[in-house]
Amino acid sequence: MKPIRQIAVVGAGLMGHGIALDFALAGFEVNLQDLDGQKVLQATGRIQAVLQMLAAAGAVPPQDVGAVSARVHGLTVLKEAVSDADLVVESVFEDLALKRTLFGELDGLCPPHTILASNTSSFPPTRLAAGTGRPEKVIVAHYFNPPYLLPLVEVVKGEATSEETASAVCGLLTQAGKKPVLLKKEAPGFIANRLQAALVREALAIVDRGIADPQDVDRVIQHGFGRRLAVAGVFEVLDLAGLDLMLAVASSLLPELESSGQVPGWFREKVERGEIGVRSGQGFYAWTPESAAARSRAIAQALLRIARMPGQTAAGREE
């Protein structure tokens, strides 16, 4: 398989610009494409702002900021962005029909060797590959926000994805300093979103049953087991605690946990009222543009501190 040197990212939104920046930080030339020229300009502005933040935090040498930024080339014409790409990472809105249409276009515009990857958080690659003539080269590479601070990428093969494609993508991601996890088979939500959805369902149930309010649920996670999960996974914790003890706890507690497949009505009502979070100024918390920006900066700084744990560089890449 041809080495992956030229990368294109399609979709210049929240995830797209972050993925492009992450590859640029690893030394790759990246075409970042979006049909909306304004989005491309906003994306390049965000990349500059993030690089300045990383430089101020000591994660990127200040003298490298210009070179890294110059590796990201903003474009609006899809053909120009992907005509010589070895890998295309799709990061458009999470709509299956939109993604399938785009994959069909990419199939016709890209060279035969090009790997087509999706940053989807839920759709199986087999469904994305159906509209292409290269299903063996279609794969999911699911990043997490912000991509330049979180090293995990879930890699998911479709029914026809070749081992060579999976190996090439995992190898590239490892070269770029990521921590790829290759799923054994397709599953809705992959690994991370299934785990997160289970936590969200129980958190909503705790509020629904009047056990605690949303703010206290957040405090329990932030100041309790959430800190531990940053350095030890679930199965490590089970081993450290003792499986006999955890079996007793699970046998008693699991029957009491929420198992409904329905979203609580009050949660739907919040969305219907327009209380959707930061974008509307009200969700479970009240937000202003200033408070939202400050919270985002605090989260980024905390992730940088975690990334500086022994054995890693500031950007989460192994030394």
What is the pLDDT at residue 313?
40
What is the pLDDT at residue 309?
64
Q: Is residue 10 within 8 Å of 141, Cβ to Cβ?
A: no
Q: Is residue 74 within 8 Å of 32, Cβ to Cβ?
A: yes
> Which residue(s) pair with 282 in the sheet?
277, 286
* 138 domain residue, yes or no: yes
What is the pLDDT at residue 166?
98
Q: Residue 319 — very low, low, confident or very high, per pLDDT cuts 50/70/90?
A: very low
> Which residue(s) pair with 87 in the sheet?
7, 115
3-state class of 181 per DSSP?
A: strand
* 229 domain residue, yes or no: no
Share of the chain above pLDDT 70, in %: 97
Which stretch, 71-75, 128-132, 261-265, has highest mean pLDDT? 71-75
Complete DSSP assignment for 96-144: HHHHHHHHHHHHHHS-TT-EEEE--SS--HHHHHTTSS-GGGEEEEEE-
* 174 domain residue, yes or no: yes
Give me the CATH number covering residue 97: 3.40.50.720
* 172 domain residue, yes or no: yes
Identify the H or E element spanning 11: none
Identify the H or E element spanning 283: none
* 120 domain residue, yes or no: yes
Q: What does the pLDDT average to over 139-160?
A: 97
Compute the mean pLDDT over every residue in the chain, rounded to the nearest whole number: 94
Cα Rg of the chain, angstroms: 21
Domain that holds residue 140: 6-182
Q: What does the pLDDT average to over 28-43?
A: 97
Q: What does the pLDDT average to over 11-40?
A: 97
* 222 domain residue, yes or no: no
* DSSP one-letter code for 191: T
294-310 pLDDT, tens digit each = 999 899 999 998 887 65
* 91 domain residue, yes or no: yes
Per the structure, the count of domains in the chain is 1
> Which residue(s) pair with 182 in the sheet?
155
Q: Residue 219 — very low, low, confident or very high, per pLDDT cuts 50/70/90?
A: very high
- Does residue 14 surpass a pLDDT of 60? yes
- Does residue 315 surpass a pLDDT of 50? no
What is the pLDDT at residue 306?
86
The number of beta carbons lying within 10 Å of the beta carbon of residue 270 is: 16
- Does residue 311 surpass a pLDDT of 70? no
What is the C-alpha to C-alpha distance for residues 115 and 239, in angstroms, rounded to an integer? 39
What is the C-alpha to C-alpha distance for residues 131 and 161, in angstroms, rounded to an integer? 14
224-273 pLDDT, tens digit each = 999 999 889 999 999 999 999 999 999 999 999 999 999 999 999 999 99
